[in-house]
């Protein structure tokens, strides 16, 4: 188990990020999605883990990890335990699955998992092909995750469709992800929700320089 750094979220997840499944973190822009996965990465490093960070957006910033390592008094040399793969097209994202299969990482982060598919199949008439290709990708990824028993955390975005907010490629994501964490901003407060969950599934948080902290 890898702690998220948020006590209530860990409780809702049953102690943290589990092995052998894909955990989906999604939400609108500026809700702390990348901050949360970096926080999970730091907690994995503190346990001696090695991480594969697949960056499809070019937004990975190691200095943000340094900000999180300092309060925990962890050595900056731990960043050497992170392999960052810059992925610039859909085919590279498919090929990157083999890196998971052939290695023994303690954690894999994919940020952002749907962005390149939406970019390469951006036209209305390409929706069916986009869903077909993304389903193929997720099926391959899920198979490797199950076989290797590696925890995978995927970051995804929200899009507005007819003024309704919906997770990008939600119908496919829901087929292959076991846990979904939705992050959102309500006025000046931040709220998260965990799905599926049989009881109260909400947690509240603040976004600070050194990561997400719990809020009431």
157 alpha-carbon distance from chain centroid? 10
Query: Which stretch of DSSP H or E encloses residue 44?
Result: helix 33-46
The CA–CA distances, whole Å, from 71 to 67, 110, 207 equal 8, 25, 15
Domain count, the chain: 1
Distance of alpha carbon 183 from alpha carbon 157, whole angstroms: 10
Residues 152, 153, 154, 158: what is their CA dihedral angle, to the nearest 10 degrees? 150
101 falls within a domain: yes
Residue 151's domain comprises 7-215
The reply to whether 197 falls in a domain is yes
148 inside domain? yes
Please tell me whether the overall predicted TM-score, pTM, comes out greater than 0.85 for this model: yes
In-domain check, residue 105:
yes
Instruction: Print pLDDT tens along the chain (216 aa).
Output: 999 999 999 999 999 999 999 999 999 999 999 999 999 999 999 999 999 999 999 999 999 999 999 888 999 999 999 999 999 999 999 999 999 999 899 999 999 999 999 999 999 999 999 999 999 999 999 999 999 999 999 999 998 777 788 999 999 999 999 999 999 998 778 999 999 988 899 999 999 988 899 987
- CATH number reported for the structural domain that contains residue 206 in this entry: 3.40.50.300
Domain contains 2: no
147: in domain: yes
Burial class for 107, CB neighbours closer than 10 Å (0-12, 13-18, 19+): buried
């Amino acid at each position: 188990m890898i702690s998220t750094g948020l006590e209530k979220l860990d409780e809702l997840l049953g102690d943290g990020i589990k092995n052998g499944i894909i955990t989906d973190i999604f939400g609108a822009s500026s809700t702390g999605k990348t901050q949360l996965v970096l926080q999970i990465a730091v907690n994995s490093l503190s346990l001696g883990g090695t991480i594969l960070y697949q960056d499809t957006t070019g937004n990975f910033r190691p200095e943000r990890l340094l900000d999180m390592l300092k309060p925990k008094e962890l050595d900056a040399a731990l960043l050497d335990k992170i392999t960052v793969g810059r992925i610039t097209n859909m085919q590279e994202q498919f090929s990157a699955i083999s890196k998971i299969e052939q290695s023994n990482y303690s954690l894999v982060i994919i940020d952002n998992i749907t962005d390149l598919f939406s970019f390469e199949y951006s036209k209305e008439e390409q929706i069916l092909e986009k869903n077909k290709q993304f389903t193929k990708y997720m099926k391959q990824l899920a198979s490797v995750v199950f076989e290797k028993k590696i925890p995978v955390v995927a970051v995804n975005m929200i899009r507005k469709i007819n003024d309704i907010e919906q997770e990008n490629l939600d119908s496919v994501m829901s087929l292959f992800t076991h846990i979904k964490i939705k992050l959102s901003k309500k006025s000046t407060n931040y709220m998260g929700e965990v799905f599926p969950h049989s009881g109260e599934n909400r947690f509240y948080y603040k976004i600070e320089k050194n990561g997400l902290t719990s809020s009431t």
